[in-house]
Amino acid sequence: MPTSFDDQRQLEETKRLLARAPIIQNACYLDLIVFLHRHPRALLTSEQLAGFVGYNLKETAKALDAFIEAGLLEPTTQQSMHAARMLVLLLDGPQGGGVRALLELASTREGREGILEALRGPGPRPDRPSTGPELRLVNSV
Amino acid sequence: MPGPDLVKTGIAGLDEILSGGIPRGNVILLEGAIGCGKTTMGVEFVYRGASQFGEPGVIVLFEVSPDKIIRDAQGFGWDLRELERADRLRIVFTSREVLRQELQQADSVLLEEAARIGARRIFIDGVGRLTGGNSNGTPEARSAFHVFTEGLHRENLTAALAIEASAYHPGEHASLPEESIADTVIRLRMEESQRAISRSVEIVKSRGHDYQMGRHTFRIIDGHGLQVYRRVQAPRPSRDRAAAYDPATRISTGVPGLDGIVNGGYFVGSTTVVAGISGVGKSVMGLQYVAEGARRGERSLMLSLDEQVQQILRNAASIGLDLPREIERGLVRLEYEPPQEIEVDAHFYRIEQMVEGFNPKRVVIDSLSTYGSSLGTQGRVFRDFFHALVALMKEHQIAAVYNHENPEMLGMASMMGDFQMSSLVDNIILMNWAELGDAFRLGMTIAKMRGNPVNRFTHEVEILDGQGMRVLPRVLPVPPEQHPFSSYAGLVSRAPERRKFTGSADEK
């Protein structure tokens, strides 16, 4: 919980940033977008990706689909012979600006913690799954 | 017959030892232990292609994240993000399993991506475990690598593949299965000498063209990238410049009285060693030589390993030479290089650059003995370096003077023994002290002068504050009595004694 006026102000600021990037629903979405920002052109299977970010396959696949739908990832068709997909991050779309600001904040440990705090707090974020960073098994990135 | 289509790496100095580049389509193995510079070399290969030669490229990474590669490249002044934005570069993060599958498929997503930007080069960082381990020479490993390279050939990509080879000392290096399949093998090493480490690059093999063998030094330079320095012993491509040989022109030494005993001066393109113990005035002589050049409007370069530039200027001022003015006029260049841990290839490259850029007629190197103590006189390094230096000066028709701190009071044993340089030298001037009465006086002997008549008289020399060095006239009011050799015994054993004549028949 925020303990000082500065902390409270920071939390409000983070919430404002999250409001500009409504695609970021929970910790998995955040960590996945951070990974994709560091690896903006990744040729990986979904299993490998889930392993890298440390969430289960179902959650990771859901976040991936959401990013593709929002235009943050180039939609590459998965050919039947290929287990891997080329995932290309695009930050030029309508949500790109908000995500960029969030990525900048998430680049520090404190910033990421602040975002996770804001994501946990009360507020209208539909489809919020129950899993959070406290359930992560691996963070290999 | 047209030569091979060579891909220039663009890496400074590397194309020179590759005789222009690497044949297009070659699979290049960059092998070496961790920290040798494989990734930097591979990234630079792709970066130079995309930025200088209109050849887009792909970088494939397995363990390092692209943002770190981009950050590190920024330190060399390479803007990889900009190249990505311009569709001239793709940095792909993947896994070895995926890549192996990809390159075995006709419709590889990776190769499609490469084709989309018209890629001609690809760098894959860390192919070792892709094919079953570093020193795993099994037929399966060879076969896996073969299939892998076929995928690259199919797209006509010139591919650089970094592979970790942990054992890299001669005799310890187990042959990698990848080495026999790759077209070009470039081995990077960290060489240990005393407590210093230097990097070297060796072209182990390269199909389809000529290249310079041996280990060449390289450095990774901030703001620039790799710089390869050709092995000092390697043949220089411009050596035939020495054909413009001038056998007649002499240049003045700048020491009053000295020109007279060296027949008017040193020949252009000649090599002169001034040898003597510390304090006899070798550097003073060098400064006067440089100043004389400036006086005549000739460019002179002095390279010192012993004294820093400010100290040289102070010494010059003390004998009345205004070198700052000559430097200002562009006629004199003074350079200091600390002698500790000289990397001989890099050092020679620097001298080469100075000679080619400044184009001096006179050069003074102060001193050879410091090179000797830095490079070591055992083994071939010093001798090969000196050989290359002499050749470089001759190519450029420079009259070069090398100071040598001779540990002996007299003689040249050190030049013939440890330093093994006397045969390369045209002129040897010995400076020495003579103790007469209660004073040391300075003497000079021309011990060797190639192609000139030499007298081996020892001439007296003096060095005066504000005036410098001069050779004193040899005044002999009464010609000395000359005795024929037959008047002596022990001449060859260098212990001559006047013979005592008894008048017997054997003495005639």
Contact B98 A45 (CB under 8 A): yes
Mean pLDDT calculated for residue range B469-486 = 76
Q: Tell me how many degrees the CA angle A124-A126-A129 measures, rounded to the nearest 5.
A: 120
A45 near B CB under 8 A? yes
Contacts B105 to A, Cβ<8 Å: 81-82
Lowest mean pLDDT among A94-103, B129-138, B189-198, B245-254: B129-138
| CB-closest option in A41, A48, A85 to B91 | A41
d(CA B53, CA B479): 76
Instruction: Give yes or no for residue B449 having a pLDDT over 60.
Output: yes
* CB-based contact B92:B61 (threshold 8 Å): yes
- CB neighbour class for B48 (10 Å; exposed up to 12, middle 13-18, buried from 19): buried
- Indicate the average pLDDT of chain B: 86
Min mean pLDDT across B111-125, B136-150, B268-282 is at B136-150
Residue B114 touches partner A, C-beta closer than 8 Å: no
Q: What is the mean pLDDT of residues B218-224?
A: 96
Segment B476-485 mean pLDDT = 67
CA B397 to chain centre: 19
What is the pLDDT, as a whole number, of residue A126? 44
pLDDT exceeds cutoff 80 at B295: yes
> Measured between beta carbons, which residues in chain A are less than 8 angstroms from residue B90?
41
Kindly state whether B109 is in contact with chain A, defined as any CB-CB distance less than 8 angstroms.
Answer: yes
Cβ–Cβ < 8 Å for B229, B349: yes
| Closest by Cα among B273, B271, B270, B272 to B245 | B270
Among A26-35, B261-270, B494-503, name the one with the lowest average pLDDT.
B494-503
Residue B94 to residue A82, Cβ atoms within 8 A: no
pLDDT for the residue numbered B410: 58
Residue B153 is predicted with a pLDDT of 83
- Residue type for position B211: Y
pLDDT (0 to 100) of residue B138: 66
Chain A residues in contact with B67 (beta carbon < 8 A): 37-39
| B94 in contact with chain A, both atoms CB, cutoff 8 A | yes
Partners of residue A79 in chain B, C-beta under 8 Å: 107, 109
CB-nearest partner of B107 from A45, A76, A79: A79
- Using a CB–CB cutoff of 8 Å, tell me whether A84 touches chain B: yes
**Cα end-to-end span (Å), chain B:** 77
Q: Is the peptide bond before B367 cis (omega within 30 degrees of 0)?
A: yes
Q: Which of B14, B76, B469, B415 has the alpha carbon at shortest distance from B202?
A: B14
pLDDT of B228-241, one tens digit each?
999 987 766 655 55
Q: Residues A23-43: what's their mean pLDDT? A: 94
* DSSP letter (8 states) at residue B4: -
Closest residue in B to A88 (Cα–Cα): B92
| Residue of chain B minimizing CA distance to A38 | B67
- Residue B7 is predicted with a pLDDT of 96
pLDDT for res A81:
59
**CB distance from A46 to chain B under 8 Å?**
no
pTM of the entire predicted model: 0.80
Q: What angle do CA A115, A120, A122 make, to 5 degrees?
A: 115
What CA–CA distance (Å, rounded) separates B48 from B224? 11
Confidence of residue B174 (pLDDT cuts 50, 70, 90): low
State yes or no: pLDDT of A9 exceeds 70. yes
**ipTM, interface predicted TM-score of the complex:** 0.80
> Which stretch of B49-53, B147-151, B174-178 has the lowest confidence by average pLDDT?
B174-178
pLDDT tens-digit map of A120-134: 876 545 444 444 443
Q: Are B371 and B219 in contact (CB under 8 A)?
A: no
Of residues B242 and B494, more confidently modeled: B494
Q: Tokens representing B211?
A: 């290249």
Q: Looking at the partner chain, which of A37, A86, A141 has a beta carbon nearest the beta carbon of B109?
A: A86
Mutate to test the interface with B, among A35, A36, A37, A82 (most CBs of B within 10 A): A82
